[in-house]
Amino acid sequence: MDAVFAGGDSDMKIELLSVYFNFLAKIQSSSVISNEGSTSNNLIAKAEDHMDAGVGSSIMQRYLDRVLQCALLNDCALQGAAIDVIGQVTSQALVHPVLCMPVAVALEASDDPVLSDRAFKIHRELHDKHASLIYSKSPECVRTMYLFKNVVGASMDTPGKAKDPYVVC
């Protein structure tokens, strides 16, 4: 995973983010256990769900910075894959919500209306659940949005814009 994120192959990063998303979605959907079967079967299934959730949380805590960086690259497909993962991470509370907020706010400024809307939904969800926490990093959110717009503008060869393809948060 480290090699994929360190490499320059966007397709491999998109594939890895897709694997993350599918795994996290599976964890979320399997946490809803049907009432069929005996109590002992339900207890075993719940224990297995918690084990998978622990793995998902560990992976996201290790690689969240790279997922967030992918979201800020000027590559629509990569941004879409990254925002899917960020949405799963925030809805399942696998990491502290403050960590995802600057990127969500930055992506709200995207010229892509679908990406912007998805980022806004994450922002709204975080606001509804953690309003007192997420706004503690408002200056960082503004800074990240500015850097994101600066990088996106630079890709269009706008004079005076940064040429770095990555936004460092």
The ranges assigned to domains in the chain are: 2-154
Separation CA 80–CA 75 (nearest Å): 9
Write out pLDDT tens, residues 150-161: 877 665 444 444
pLDDT at 41: 54
DSSP 48-115: HHHHHHHHHHHHHHHHHHHHHHHHTSS-HHHHHHHHHHHHHHHHHT-S-HHHHHHHHHHHHT-S-HHH
Of residues 8 and 158, more confidence is placed in 8
Q: Where residue 8 falls among pLDDT bands split at 50, 70, 90?
A: confident
Residue 110's alpha-carbon distances to 25, 41, 148, in angstroms, are 25, 47, 9
Write out pLDDT tens, residues 107-163: 999 999 999 999 999 999 999 988 888 888 789 999 999 999 887 766 544 444 444
